[in-house]
């Protein structure tokens, strides 16, 4: 894989990635007159939940469901408007988000606490948010990328995780994809995102606490015990030499898979070449099953759970969460009172039934 770095009109970095060892020439210049990116991001500590909340009011003006001929993630064409990607063609492109929730260029001089709330600590909204565009073709999806392009995307994820993890102040790197308007996607071009957080996210904190609690109670390894049980259980949907995808026994979403490598690794950069090849293949498999389960592709979130940068790495086991809020044709699972109000999930499906349905998809 080769990487070429360029700059957009407002100074944001854009990276072009290509398979192989020969870098295509990248000379296109962004002709737009763009103001400098202005971020007012701020982190506030919720003292009751013990979690950081990011406030990013400037994101209210971000692009919302443009028509296909005005898509900012398509390559710039001679007969079309300039886009976020100046080149007329590319394999995979990554650029700094124009409307980031977190950014490196933020105001660092913030008050110690929120007005009138001394227990609500304030911090700058430091971090980095990137957009990963999987293909120049607007009407594709990850499930239809093919093995070579999917493998390139895996390498890009690993490259960005390694580089962002090395940024001083970054505590966790989250690679994810939102797919489908029902999920809240505002740009339909196939793409994902990467967030570099200045804190360890609530989910990872909770899992690490569970790992430690399990070790104290049983002397065992929680991740290893879960993976061993699920690999031999009734909820496996797909597997190859290096990976197993299964519906978790306590799935909270109507359709949910977890994808684990057979070897413990903390993050995507730690995967071998063979493991990355196998990951590309099984990703296309399970996403294809999600696409074909109903008469239209399921909206989904694909979320990589990677180890924090500075702690818990020896305990962590890299894994993917893939889930959809569609529970039946034309019906969505809404996060209503119990889920949104109390964080207590009630599922409309049974994990064993869902696993059988997904295994049957051809």
Q: What is the pLDDT along the chain (362 residues), one digit of tens a residue?
A: 999 999 999 999 999 999 998 878 899 999 999 988 878 899 999 999 999 999 998 888 788 889 999 999 999 998 889 999 999 999 999 999 999 999 998 888 899 999 999 999 999 999 999 999 999 999 999 999 999 999 999 999 999 999 999 999 999 999 999 999 999 899 999 999 999 999 999 999 999 999 999 999 999 999 999 999 999 999 999 999 999 999 999 999 999 999 999 999 999 999 999 999 999 999 999 999 999 999 999 999 999 999 999 999 999 999 999 999 999 999 999 999 999 999 999 999 999 999 999 999 98
In this structure, are 44 and 71 located in the same domain?
A: yes
Which of 149, 165, 200 is the C-terminal boundary of a domain? 200
C-alpha torsion sign, points 163, 168, 172, 175? negative
In this structure, are 138 and 211 located in the same domain?
A: no
Residue 28: CATH number of its domain: 3.30.428.10
Q: How many CA atoms lie within 13 A of 213 on its CB side?
A: 6
What's CA 142's distance to the chain center, in Å? 13
In this structure, are 58 and 75 located in the same domain?
A: yes
pLDDT of residue 3: 96
pLDDT of residue 65: 85
pLDDT of residue 279: 98
Q: Which has the closest alpha carbon to 360: 294, 261, 282?
A: 294
> Tokens 């390894």 belong to which residue?
221
In this structure, are 338 and 223 located in the same domain?
A: yes
- Binding-site residues, in ranges, read 71, 74, 138, 189
Which of 183, 200, 217 is the C-terminal boundary of a domain? 200
* Pairwise CA distance, residues 111 & 91, whole Å: 44
| Greatest distance between any 2 Cα atoms in the chain | 65
In this structure, are 131 and 172 located in the same domain?
A: yes
Q: Note down the domain range covering 329.
A: 203-360
* Pairwise CA distance, residues 158 & 167, whole Å: 15
In this structure, are 188 and 294 located in the same domain?
A: no
* Pairwise CA distance, residues 130 & 190, whole Å: 14
Catalytic residue (choose from 174, 191, 242, 319):
191
- Compute the C-alpha angle 336/183/58, nearest 5°: 95
Under 8 Å between Cβ of 57 and 40: yes
Alpha helices (H) in the chain, listed in sequence order: 147-165, 202-218, 222-231, 273-292, 342, 351-360
Structure tokens at 49: 């939940």
pLDDT of residue 37: 83
pLDDT of residue 126: 96
Structure tokens at 181: 């308007």
Query: Phi and psi dihedrals of 331, rounded to 5?
Result: -125, 135
Q: How many CA atoms lie within 13 A of 339 on its CB side?
A: 11
In this structure, are 276 and 319 located in the same domain?
A: yes
In this structure, are 194 and 221 located in the same domain?
A: no
In this structure, are 175 and 158 located in the same domain?
A: yes
* Pairwise CA distance, residues 11 & 163, whole Å: 19
> Is 262 tagged catalytic?
no
Under 8 Å between Cβ of 352 and 235: yes
Q: Which has the closest alpha carbon to 142: 20, 280, 271?
A: 280
Structure tokens at 40: 């007012």
Under 8 Å between Cβ of 198 and 126: yes
In this structure, are 131 and 165 located in the same domain?
A: yes
* Pairwise CA distance, residues 289 & 291, whole Å: 5
pLDDT of residue 61: 77
Structure tokens at 243: 């990976």
* Pairwise CA distance, residues 113 & 226, whole Å: 41
> Tokens 């093919």 belong to which residue?
146
In this structure, are 114 and 169 located in the same domain?
A: yes
Structure tokens at 163: 């580089």
Give the 3-state DSSP-derived string for 207-260, with helices as H, strands as E and coil as C.
HHHHHHHHHHHHCCCHHHHHHHHHHCCCCEEEECCCEEEECCCCCCCCEEEEEE
Domain count of the chain?
2
In this structure, are 175 and 209 located in the same domain?
A: no
Which of 200, 216, 240 is the C-terminal boundary of a domain? 200
């Amino acid at each position: 894989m080769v990487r070429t770095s360029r700059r957009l009109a407002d100074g944001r970095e854009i990276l072009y990635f290509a398979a192989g060892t020969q870098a295509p020439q990248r000379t296109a210049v962004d002709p737009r007159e763009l103001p400098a990116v202005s971020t007012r991001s701020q982190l506030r500590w919720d003292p009751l939940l013990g979690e950081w909340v990011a406030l990013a009011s400037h994101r209210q003006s971000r692009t919302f469901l443009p028509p296909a001929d005005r898509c900012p993630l398509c390559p710039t064409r001679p007969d079309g408007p300039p886009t976020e990607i100046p080149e007329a063609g590319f394999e995979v492109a990554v650029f700094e988000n124009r409307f980031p929730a977190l950014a490196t260029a933020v105001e660092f001089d913030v008050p110690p606490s929120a007005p009138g709330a001394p227990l609500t600590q304030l911090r700058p909204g430091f971090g980095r948010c990137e957009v990963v565009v999987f293909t120049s073709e607007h009407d594709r999806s990850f499930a239809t990328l093919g093995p070579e392009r999917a493998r390139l995307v895996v390498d890009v994820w690993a490259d960005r995780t390694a580089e962002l993890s090395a940024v001083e102040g970054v505590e966790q790197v989250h690679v994810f994809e939102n797919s489908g308007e029902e999920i809240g996607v505002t740009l339909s071009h196939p793409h994902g995102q990467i967030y570099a957080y200045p804190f360890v996210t609530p989910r990872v904190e909770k899992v690490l606490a569970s790992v430690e609690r399990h070790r104290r109670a049983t002397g065992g390894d929680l991740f290893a015990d879960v993976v061993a049980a699920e690999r031999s259980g009734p909820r496996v949907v797909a597997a190859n030499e290096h990976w197993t995808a299964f519906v978790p026994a306590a799935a909270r979403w109507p359709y949910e898979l977890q994808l684990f490598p057979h070897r413990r690794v903390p993050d995507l950069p730690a995967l071998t070449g063979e493991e990355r090849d196998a990951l590309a293949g099984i990703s296309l498999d399970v996403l294809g099953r999600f696409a074909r389960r109903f008469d239209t592709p399921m909206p989904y979130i694909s979320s990589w759970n990677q180890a924090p940068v500075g702690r818990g790495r020896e305990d962590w086991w890299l894994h993917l969460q893939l889930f959809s809020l569609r529970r039946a044709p034309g019906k969505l699972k809404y996060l209503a009172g119990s889920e949104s109000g109390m964080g207590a999930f009630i599922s409309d499906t049974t994990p064993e039934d869902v696993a059988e349905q997904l295994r049957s998809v051809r």
